[in-house]
Amino acid sequence: MELHVVIEGDKDLAGQLYRQLKDAIRAGRLAAGEKLPPSRLLAGQLGLSRKTVSEAYARLTFDKLLVGRVGSGTFVAEAVRPAAAPTAASRFAGAAVAERWIRMDTPLRHPEPAGSSRYEYIGGAPAHALFPHTAWRRCALHALRQGARSRGLYGAAEGLPVLREAIARHAAFSRGVRAGMEDVVVTNGAQQALDLVARVLVEPGCTVAVEDPGYPPARLLFAAQGAQVVGIPVDAEGLQVDLIPEGTRLVYVTPAHQFPLGMPMSVRRRRALLARAQALGALVIEDDYDCEFRYEGRPTDSLQSMDEAGTVAFVGTFSKTLSPELRLGYLIAPPAILQAVGVAKHLSDWHTSIQAQWALAKFIADGELHKHVRRCHAVYAERRERLMQRLDGDLAPWFERVPATAGIHMAALARKTLDMDLLLRLARRVDVGLYPLDPFYRSSPPRQGLMLGYGAIETADIDPSMDRVRDVLMQMD
């Protein structure tokens, strides 16, 4: 790789090189400790004499910006600190648009590692210690071998056929989804799947209905596309379908494990939603984000499997079953938008990482995904049971848990008015990370409570952490 230097004309050549290297060092483009090309090599690259380059190096060494090491070469001095970057212009044509993005709240951004507590009840995070490193390593090596045999070109926007086929079989087996390989689009997590649907359906001024409380990134994403986002209240049966307004173009729901409260949508309400969507000509996004983990009751059909009119787009992710670091998800699109989604995917990022797709396809085909889900299910079931015992036991004077049959988090509603900000602060002081329900409400009156994720906390840590929460609550009374 060549050092970027531009020499103009044939005058003051050493001075031009000196000034450009000095500016690069001062601006931080050449970092402290970075090695510069040997004078003979740089001279050849720039079409200069070696003497000219040596002169510029000597001047920079005299200025203590470079240091020569015998037998090693010439390096940027370690003591050099880059100058502060110039501030951006205060006014530019797109300032208002950028400012709207800056002002968007992002309540589900995970805390920085340095700021996280020892006992974390953050939602949406699976157990990192349970990740199947050995099996995934074998699948990753398989992916590398596949890559070595390929022509090294771009792949199909919709994803590798072998992975799309594996996902279709997995979704059919675990959630009863009716789809073939041609209906599947591989995405960078569930969030990109939502974005793709929004890109091909949402335009400024159209109405999008979302659950309230609900998943903030989905609501914000639709709003960013210019939609009028309407929050629809939920009750014990899920989304209150009769409140979906006329003119709604898109409905976003989490029927198997309502986010964040956790209750499943009743079969009666699901049928009503499908009928309402068909009457409106609206498309329904079914976000099935963590429902491979089911603990009690009879499994219910996915909304997509009940759909006879092609109105449901089914969104799944491997972030909760494997790891959010993989950024692998999928969209099973109805015929009405399938081709448009493929075009949008191509234009937005062309395709998801080919090597990651080969690895996941092998992981599913070898039965490793099912084995991993079973292992995690046993662990999560134990954590869920222990947390329920505490909420139904010594924490019952303050909280009432919302019944939920699936997933890796549960919600607990406050039985009496609490100073939630104080509770969260005091819990942090005793190294317990708690997260309130308030940020998930949009227009409905917020219910005080907690969303308790049990994927990222060890089973043995639940009792000591809940002891600390109980003690904090007793101090607050």
Contact by Cβ (8 Å): 348, 306: no
Pairing of strands 119-120, 399-401: unpaired
Residue 115 confidence (pLDDT): 46
Contact by Cβ (8 Å): 342, 350: no
Q: What is the DSSP string of 410-425?
A: EEEEESS---HHHHHH
Domain extents in the chain:
13-76, 117-128+371-476, 131-366
For 313, list phi and psi in degrees, rounded to 5: -105, 120
Rounded to whole angstroms, the Cα distance separating 76 from 27 reads: 12
pLDDT digits (tens, 9 = 90+) for 77-95: 987 776 665 555 557 788 8
Pairing of strands 73-76, 119-120: unpaired
pLDDT digits (tens, 9 = 90+) for 361-375: 999 999 999 999 999
Q: Is the pTM of this model over 0.85?
A: yes
pLDDT digits (tens, 9 = 90+) for 248-292: 999 999 999 999 999 999 999 999 999 999 999 999 999 999 988
Which helix or strand (DSSP H or E) is residue 26 part of?
Answer: helix 13-27
Contact by Cβ (8 Å): 426, 470: no
pLDDT of residue 9 exceeding 90: no
* Mean pLDDT of the region 447-460: 96
pLDDT digits (tens, 9 = 90+) for 44-79: 999 999 999 999 999 999 999 999 998 899 999 987
pLDDT of residue 245 exceeding 50: yes
* Mean pLDDT of the region 133-152: 94
Would you tell me how many other CB atoms lie within 10 Å of the CB of residue 265? 24
Q: Where are the alpha helices (DSSP H) in 282-416?
A: 303-306, 335-349, 354-365, 368-392
For 57, list phi and psi in degrees, rounded to 5: -60, -40
Rounded to whole angstroms, the Cα distance separating 211 from 258 reads: 9
Region 117-128+371-476: CATH code: 3.90.1150.10
* Mean pLDDT of the region 231-238: 96
Contact by Cβ (8 Å): 177, 302: yes
Rounded to whole angstroms, the Cα distance separating 199 from 346 reads: 12
End-to-end CA gap in the chain: 66
Contact by Cβ (8 Å): 232, 255: no
Rounded to whole angstroms, the Cα distance separating 90 from 97 reads: 14
For residue 261, give both structure tokens: 């409260």
Residue 296 confidence (pLDDT): 86
Q: What is the DSSP letter of 194?
A: H
For residue 143, give both structure tokens: 């992916």
Q: Which CATH number fits domain 131-366: 3.40.50.720, 3.40.640.10, 1.20.1070.10, 3.40.50.300?
A: 3.40.640.10
Q: Three-class SS of residue 28?
A: coil
> Percent of the chain scored above 90 by pLDDT?
81
Amino acid 364 reads I
* Mean pLDDT of the region 413-439: 95
Tokens 């799309």 map to which residue?
Answer: 164
For 407, list phi and psi in degrees, rounded to 5: 90, -170
Buried b (16+ CB within 10 A) or exposed e, 394-416: ebeebbebbebbbbbbbbbebee
Distances in whole angstroms, Cα of residue 36 to Cα of each of 1, 15, 40, 41, 55: 11, 17, 11, 10, 14
Rounded to whole angstroms, the Cα distance separating 287 from 219 reads: 13
For residue 464, give every residue at least 6 positions away whose Cβ sits within 8 Å of its Cβ, in sequence order, or none. 119
For 235, list phi and psi in degrees, rounded to 5: -130, -160
pLDDT of residue 114 exceeding 50: no
Rounded to whole angstroms, the Cα distance separating 245 from 437 reads: 25
Amino acid 338 reads L
Contact by Cβ (8 Å): 239, 287: no
Q: Which CATH number fits domain 13-76: 3.40.50.300, 1.10.10.10, 3.30.1330.10, 3.40.190.10?
A: 1.10.10.10
pLDDT of residue 111 exceeding 60: no
pLDDT of residue 4 exceeding 70: yes
Nearest to 327 by CA among 353, 304, 306: 353
Report the number of secondary-structure helices (H) and strands (E) in the chain: 15, 15
**Highest-pLDDT range among 36-45, 60-69, 285-294, 388-397:** 388-397
Residue 59 confidence (pLDDT): 95
For residue 229, give both structure tokens: 């986002």
